[in-house]
Amino acid sequence: MKAMAAARPRYDRLAMNRLGLWLFFLSESMIFLILLMTRFYLLGTYRPEGLNQPLGLTITVILLLSSLTAYRAETSMAHGDRQGFLRNLLATILLGTAFLIGVVGFEWPEAPHLGIIPQEGFGIAFFSMTGMHAFHVLTGVILLTIVYLNGRRGAYSAESHWGVEASVKYWHFVDVVWVFFYPVLYLIR
């Protein structure tokens, strides 16, 4: 048995971790897919004219940029550049927080004045979809902050940084969800 275990490839554990993470993404995708389908079922391609388009575009660009900094953070750690990792991860956390402030601090309070009421019509889809996504952004920011603090303590290295890889992949997943939510909420008609 010991000989068999020793013969097993070293990356088995990492491969299983990755597979598990992607299965988690798949299960999460179902929630977002249902929200998307509900939006089309209830409203078709209708959207109100008064949506704050510049704000929608701004938060979208912010989230895209955060994916770049997250990617750089992971790459920096893979190359043993701890300072680069910390710098880029901090930028990701700040951009994620800016996205949250944009949605929850600006878009939500403004929406009822534009006729988007949470209890009716487009408002149900708008607040459900942005709310569920914002919740995932919040958990992502918390996760990245934990990884950042661990990174400052030297918990990761170029050879071993699964925590960094997993949290960054989660962040990209949240970005992918917004890639679909942005046009569906703000652009189609």
Partner 1 sequence: MVIGGLGALTAAEYWIALSVHSSPLLYLAPIALIKAWLIVQYFMHVRQLWGEEEVES
Interacting residues toward partner 1 by CB under 8 A: 11, 14-15, 18-19, 22, 45, 53, 57, 60-61, 64-65, 67-68, 70-71, 78, 158-162, 164-165, 169, 172-173, 175-176, 179-180, 182-183, 186-189
Return d(Cα 29, Cα 32) in angstroms, integer.
5
Q: What one-character DSSP code corresponds to residue 111? A: G
Residue closer to partner 1, measured from CB, 127 or 156? 156
- The least distance separating partner 1 from the CB of residue 1, rounded to whole angstroms, comes to 25
Please identify, using beta-carbon distances, which residue of 20 and 118 lies nearer to partner 1. Answer: 20
| Pairwise CA distance, residues 89 & 69, whole Å | 7
Residue 189 DSSP class: -
Smallest distance from partner 1 to CB 5, Å: 20
Closest to partner 1 by CB, 19 or 120 = 19
Residue 47 φ then ψ, to 5°:
-150, 145
C-alpha to C-alpha distance for 150 and 144, rounded to whole angstroms: 10
Q: Which is nearer to partner 1, 107 or 165 (CB)?
A: 165
* Helix or strand (DSSP H, E) at 85: helix 82-100
| Phi, psi (deg, nearest 5) at residue 172 | -65, -40
Q: Considering the complex, what minimum distance in angstroms separates the CB of residue 158 from partner 1?
A: 7
Q: At its nearest, how many Å lie between partner 1 and the CB of residue 129?
A: 14
